[in-house]
Amino acid sequence: MDFYVSHETQSYILRNAYIPEHIIGLMKAISGGDLGMIGDFIFYVKDNWLIFIGYPICGITNKKDLSLTTDYIDKLINAYDPDYLWAIAPEIPGELKKTADEFQSDYYYTLATSEFNPARRLLREVEKANKTLMVTANREFTTKHKALRDEFIKSRSLHPLVESLYKSMEKHLEKSDTAFVLNATTSDGKLCAFYCLDSGADNFLAYIMGCHSKVCYVPHASDLLFVEMVRIAKEMGKSIINLGLGVNEGLKRFKMKWGGRPTIPYEFIELKRRVLYHNLLKKLESIL
């Protein structure tokens, strides 16, 4: 079965993308995997793992495509025989949930740039932050970014996949032509907050991750970056900002405070297909 994705099809994907995982450059840089396509779904595969993106490129209103999720995953398992399989979809079929080693549910939060109309109170806070901070955009992930990223990870209990996303930002920025960093720095050059963004999709700007420092804390630095992100999205002609998943209550409140709304359902499963067998085999080998 041929899963090759032509340049023409890649353009079709980016033209109709509506979640960050549809941004080919982003996912290839972060995962290191190769892109494939089955029906109207894309996936990434490498070595002993496969990531299935269960959001049809034509849109999630197509119930016929959604119902094919299980069939397509079965075909990919037969084709690649991965030890690990991760799948995301608006709704994971029940038969897959039953066999999953892990299941999560959430929503992608989105913001229509034309509807961005924050409360004056919030803008006053941003204006205060703007007096003490400088905002810049570039493609460099410096030692300052790494230090702030590491500080942020240590101060929070993150899911391993979320933590790996944070740790992959250097690779993402090195390999992707559409990724960039939005920085908030003090007058003496200290980095107190940053966002990683990706403009690879035609119709939306993707918020990938953000960090703010408790060591070099400046009130409302993240708010200042949010407002600047919206300005950049409008300048780029993006009608939507995909703010990513809710993740936790604090992040949900922050996104909703600025007008983000949970609009695209998200479910995730992990299947560890032969891990127990391999672990047992290694144990037996060590004994023998």
Is the predicted pLDDT of residue 280 greater than 50, yes or no? no
Partner residues linked to 35 by β-bridges: 44
Q: How confident is the model at residue 277 (pLDDT cuts 50, 70, 90)?
A: very low
Q: How confident is the model at residue 212 (pLDDT cuts 50, 70, 90)?
A: very high
Domains along the chain with CATH numbers: 7-107+266-287 (3.40.630), 111-263 (3.40.630.30)
Percent of the chain with pLDDT over 90: 74
Least-confidence region, from 83-97, 115-129, 267-281: 267-281
Phi-psi region of 144 (alpha: psi -120 to 50; beta: other; left: phi over 0): alpha
- Residue 284 is predicted with a pLDDT of 44
Environment class of 200 (CB within 10 Å of its CB; exposed 0-12, middle 13-18, buried 19+): buried
80 CB contacts (<8 Å, ≥6 apart)?
A: 45, 50
Cα 183 from Cα 145, distance rounded (Å): 9
SS3 track for the chain: CCCCCCHHHHHHHHHHCCCHHHCHHHHHHHHCCEEEEECCEEEEEECCEEEEECCCCCCCCCHHHHHCHHHHHHHHHHHHCCCEEEEEECCCCHHHHHHCCEEEEEEEEEEEHHHCCCCHHHHHHHHHHHHHEEEEEECCCCHHHHHHHHHHHHCCCCCHHHHHHHHCHHHHHHHCCCEEEEEEEECCCCEEEEEEEECCCCCEEEEEEEEECCCCCCCCHHHHHHHHHHHHHHHHCCCEEEEEECCCHHHHHHHHHCCCEEEEEEEEEEEECCHHHHHHHHHHHHHC
Query: Per-residue pLDDT tens for 115-141?
Result: 999 999 999 999 999 999 999 999 999
251 and 195 Cβ atoms separated by less than 8 Å: no
